Amino acid sequence: MTNEPNIIRFESAEIIGSKGEGRLATLTFDELIFAEPVNSDNEKAPTHQLFANSPRGARVQIGAIWQRENQKGEPYLSITIPQLHFRANLGKAAGQDEQEVQAIIPWNS
């Protein structure tokens, strides 16, 4: 588990199908998060479900990771957490050579 904010470390460089753990922090929240792969034949399903622990320690689903395509048709991963009105992209973390270490890059809709 990484203690750095806004980083998810996946078990493998093959992110899709790999579990991940990280920390998501903003001015209003700071949570440890857990990414669990989704096995689905539905091509519109998310690649991962995102979980965090409630104040009493229960693991609750908070959002998902989705595979999208940019304007050039290249795949990328994005995060949505509806209750927090939070959206972000995942990208290789600065200063990291490991593909499995992904930065959470927030954006506004």
pLDDT band at 107 (very low <50, low <70, confident <90, very high): confident
In tens, the pLDDT along 46-98 reads 999 999 999 999 999 999 999 999 999 999 999 999 988 899 999 988 888 88
Helices (H), the chain: none
- Fill in the amino acid letter for 76: Y
Separation of alpha carbons 93 and 85, rounded Å: 23
Domain coordinates of the chain in residue numbers? 7-107
Residue 109 has pLDDT above 60, yes or no: no
pLDDT at 93: 82
In tens, the pLDDT along 15-43 reads 999 999 999 998 888 999 999 999 999 98
Quote helix, strand, coil % in the chain, to nearest 5.
5, 50, 45
pLDDT at 54: 94
Separation of alpha carbons 30 and 44, rounded Å: 29
pLDDT at 2: 57
